[in-house]
Structure 1
């Protein structure tokens, strides 16, 4: 029997991993399931299992299509009429439809069951692993409900934003069962300093306003409405600006161009000029920042969830590859140094996921508990800084596990690497978060007691934890200034992650404390102590 290759074939393909898709991202993630149960979301386990299967298979493949064909701006139609529309690949709409109908943008608002915010957070985490770009409009839609519900006259907007329906048509919201919402906060001259905004809000006789000015980052421009900050007579105020007016006409704003972004390719971000656009004020005039503060907490939580999701998918890709590829006579994952790298990544990923869901639990209980509200207030800023900061270096390490295969688009790792910096920049970059942490510690009297309760609750279980906690308290007692804000926030983040793992009796808790707080770790991943049971860590990380 001949062993010759068929004509035109030069070699046999072997020692390559099978495709990653076809997994259930919920069933694969023990740490996520345990965290959701601890935080009160276990009643939604069947919903999460269903979406985990969808995100790990059909949506996973749709994500490649949605990112391969970027959105395109069409300012005019063939007859020369101004239309200001954005065209997306059909996969984008399929991703949005699946997410919206399964509650990624609204479960916590249209289901008042305890744990709904936790389940919504887990849905967002699962969806983000399939496609991060669509997470942007989903996050803004979800968070905007917290603002819109402050005004009973905006009940239709709030209810339709929370509704499990997706309708991409460019029509007035009266003709839709479900809508999406975007934001227009920052301007060219200010960025995070929104009080320097120059866009004017001119009062009208009927109580509405006309907005004149620009927005430098106008997210998800095909949304049905936008929360916008502008200067009213009494100062910076928040406004709801619809895309279509009630009579069906376009509102008076123009999309100038789409941003050419590093990542987030499936989603569109734009620059816009407001040419007397009709808007309705939300909240008091001059209290724009205070009005949107509840939305900010929600979006910061989703930044944490997104970064943790990117870590999780990068880890899963690295484990999948190294378990199916051999080098120098054995599987890649069985080489001692590779095992150390993978186990280190697995620990970082579990700590990020567990902490993010812990914060989601506090958000879920915030309306019933002042302690949880205070914890959510400080922990979202801490987590937004640290978890998002870790994502980029994490994804790069996962790329190295795949070698050259991790640098080509088919592997998904380049998409994750481009995406990873976004969450650390969006909704307030690192310095903004750390200054907010210092502000909360020094000016909000309810914050320090809830942090003490969280950290003291596990004191005495690990000497390295206790030493690190004492060091933090000594640093805080010295009244740290702005220059020490990052150091304080980093120490607090690591202690909070360790506390969550210790309280949960996680199998990785001791190793996390030794490496992250006890000094038994280098600057790079893969520097865990030699005596750790790395095999057990990896067995837990991915079935």
Structure 2
């Protein structure tokens, strides 16, 4: 508890300090902490999935993002959002976006720590998990910059599959230097990527896109095209290049659009406006027009969706990571407030009803953390066919469920702060507006749930790999075993009837996601936490709101574990 005293005037006869100017019973700022070292589930998951070697740098990142300076920069980046300048004062089209210097500072630090492409640049064992943990720490405090970081990461495997294009771009992507200048890509010290898939008439139905691609006659290889069309959501338009979809002679095809051409002239990427978004204010999202815009084909003609889908899968993983990072911020702020605020004769954290809510929020966060790092582990280089099959389904399943849980989780944490939480002076109002973007981006709920069904139909082995993952905890919990049997039985029945399968797609995916989370908690979390999670999410007495835990749950111990004082990082 902090008390700010009115300074006493030493002059004789000076008036006494006014009692209403004293500030009592308010939590101090939660700052100057190591956000990695205080996050036990994250540190344990990093060790469990083979990235313990990255611990020193993660502690460095944790101290950086937990600092008061970084938090102040975050505030500036969001309260001073990017501004579009379509023309200069002479009337020349420039299409430039001005960011507050704080945004450049944040994204520069994230690039320096490899949150974009470190896992690809040095693909040693544990590299994907290490990069995921780094990404999560930065996104926990400032989520807006995570969009270009995610897309820069996700584009790498697409470019690696097309080395004729990739050799010009991969070295800049692998750089740890951040260079926001609008100059020729070959002259830059580092590169970032964006993406433009959707159009106003089709949205998620990208096959309805109308952007046209006409081959450039002067290119004997048939790679170069000129694009004409309009993109409804064009992410991170300040980036150096973008993957887009357009209708070519062979059908929908994937293209790389540079923002500045190799000779230094600006490509025709006309930014129509920046989106006025609910949240994600520090990041620019836009509508753009292509009008004879130079582009180079990536992948096979007419195979645009299969080409770009690998990028989409990696950005879906980052939606899971980003939502989980937001959950960590939410529960950390809620616990911190409850530890320093008193009401009705006791600290909030010691009030049983509040303790139960905080513990339940913590369980949700821990289950998401183990799921996030398990997924990242499945993306390790050379992980093998079984892991590839597992991640095909598990990424979409987890993206659906965890991203759906994010907004409600943020709201409940916000409520723990009462009126303070509802004001923009505390970070949870911003987090509450931020969390829905991960559920919408790269496929909203129905799109993802139906993608799971399509994935099962196209690659039945992916479903086998998913069930095999759950078999690792068969017999550990009768409640989980019964849940898995029911989900498998109902899914099998639904798949025989396409109408039933689509109608119940959300129910199927929710059941699969909860089974995966429960299995991971039983494998990795403390036994008391795992048992409480299984009972609260799958048991007969489960509730619909946070704070409804089974009888006998040691809620105080769960809260202590997530407060940053309940243990220490594993060794080795």
Aligned residue among 61, 72, 76 for 2:72: 61
Deviation at 1:445, TM superposition (A): 2.3
Pairing 1:179–2:191 present = yes
Instruction: Identify the residue that residue 23 of structure 2 maps to in structure 1.
Output: 13
Deviation at 1:8, TM superposition (A): 6.5
Pairing 1:293–2:313 present = no
Question: In 1, Cα distance between the equivalents of 2:9 and 2:80?
Answer: 45
Deviation at 1:7, TM superposition (A): 5.8
CA contact (8 A) 2:393 2:463 kept: no
Question: In 2, Cα distance between the equivalents of 1:530 and 1:101?
Answer: 47
Deviates more, 1:187-196 or 1:513-522: 513-522
Aligned residue among 187, 190, 196 for 2:208: 196
Aligned residue among 523, 537, 542 for 1:516: 537
Question: In 1, Cα distance between the equivalents of 2:31 and 2:471?
Answer: 43
Q: Which runs of 5+ in 2 are unaligned?
A: 1-7, 496-500, 565-572
Instruction: Identify the residue that residue 102 of structure 2 maps to in structure 1.
Output: 91
Question: In 1, Cα distance between the equivalents of 2:83 and 2:92?
Answer: 17
Aligned residue among 278, 291, 295 for 1:279: 295
CA contact (8 A) 2:275 2:286 kept: yes
Pairing 1:348–2:364 present = yes
CA contact (8 A) 1:145 1:162 kept: no
Deviation at 1:530, TM superposition (A): 3.0
Question: In 2, Cα distance between the equivalents of 1:433 and 1:477?
Answer: 19
Secondary structure of the equivalent of 2:95? strand
Secondary structure of the equivalent of 1:375? helix
CA contact (8 A) 1:141 1:161 kept: yes
Aligned residue among 497, 508, 511 for 1:491: 511
Question: In 1, Cα distance between the equivalents of 2:134 and 2:239?
Answer: 21
Deviation at 1:56, TM superposition (A): 1.2
Instruction: Identify the residue that residue 220 of structure 1 maps to in structure 2.
Output: 236
Question: In 2, Cα distance between the equivalents of 1:506 and 1:143?
Answer: 33
CA contact (8 A) 1:151 1:282 kept: yes
Instruction: Identify the residue that residue 522 of structure 2 maps to in structure 1.
Output: 502
Question: In 2, Cα distance between the equivalents of 1:395 and 1:112?
Answer: 34
Instruction: Identify the residue that residue 44 of structure 1 maps to in structure 2.
Output: 54
Q: Deviations over 1:260-281 (max 9, x none)?
A: 0000000001111101000000
Instruction: Identify the residue that residue 400 of structure 2 maps to in structure 1.
Output: 385
Deviation at 1:11, TM superposition (A): 2.7
Aligned residue among 446, 452, 456 for 1:441: 456
Q: Which runs of 5+ in 1 are unaligned?
A: none
Question: In 2, Cα distance between the equivalents of 1:65 and 1:284?
Answer: 44
Question: In 2, Cα distance between the equivalents of 1:143 and 1:111?
Answer: 15
TM-score when normalising by structure 1 = 0.98
CA contact (8 A) 1:142 1:162 kept: no
Question: In 1, Cα distance between the equivalents of 2:323 and 2:525?
Answer: 24
Question: In 2, Cα distance between the equivalents of 1:25 and 1:45?
Answer: 12
Give structure 1 regions of 4+ aligned residues with deviation exceeding 3 angstroms: 1-10
Aligned residue among 130, 136, 150 for 1:139: 150
Deviation at 1:2, TM superposition (A): 10
CA contact (8 A) 1:74 1:85 kept: yes
Question: In 1, Cα distance between the equivalents of 2:465 and 2:56?
Answer: 33
CA contact (8 A) 1:253 1:276 kept: no
CA contact (8 A) 1:209 1:279 kept: yes
Aligned residue among 368, 387, 400 for 2:415: 400
Instruction: Identify the residue that residue 567 of structure 2 maps to in structure 1.
Output: none
Instruction: Identify the residue that residue 379 of structure 2 maps to in structure 1.
Output: 363
Instruction: Identify the residue that residue 334 of structure 1 maps to in structure 2.
Output: 350
TM-score when normalising by structure 2 = 0.93
Instruction: Identify the residue that residue 526 of structure 1 maps to in structure 2.
Output: 547
Q: Deviations over 1:494-522 (max 9, x none)?
A: 00001111122533111111111112221
CA contact (8 A) 2:137 2:325 kept: yes
Deviation at 1:453, TM superposition (A): 1.4
CA contact (8 A) 2:252 2:303 kept: yes
Question: In 2, Cα distance between the equivalents of 1:445 and 1:406?
Answer: 46
Question: In 2, Cα distance between the equivalents of 1:255 and 1:71?
Answer: 13
Deviation at 1:159, TM superposition (A): 2.1
Number of aligned positions between the proteins: 542
Q: Deviations over 1:91-111 (max 9, x none)?
A: 000011000011000110111
Change (3 A) 1:339 1:213: same
Question: In 2, Cα distance between the equivalents of 1:59 and 1:372?
Answer: 37
Q: What is the RMSD computed on CA atoms of the aligned residues?
A: 1.5
Deviation at 1:61, TM superposition (A): 2.4
Deviates more, 1:424-433 or 1:517-526: 517-526
CA contact (8 A) 1:85 1:222 kept: yes
Secondary structure of the equivalent of 2:295? strand
Instruction: Identify the residue that residue 451 of structure 1 maps to in structure 2.
Output: 466
Deviation at 1:452, TM superposition (A): 2.0
Question: In 1, Cα distance between the equivalents of 2:430 and 2:197?
Answer: 26
Question: In 1, Cα distance between the equivalents of 2:179 and 2:9?
Answer: 59
Deviation at 1:246, TM superposition (A): 1.2
Deviation at 1:329, TM superposition (A): 0.8
CA contact (8 A) 2:86 2:94 kept: yes
CA contact (8 A) 1:224 1:244 kept: yes
Pairing 1:316–2:332 present = yes
Q: Deviations over 1:166-215 (max 9, x none)?
A: 00101011111211111111000010000000000100121310000010
Change (3 A) 1:2 1:100: closer
Secondary structure of the equivalent of 1:213? strand
CA contact (8 A) 2:403 2:439 kept: yes
Pairing 1:469–2:484 present = yes
Instruction: Identify the residue that residue 164 of structure 1 maps to in structure 2.
Output: 176
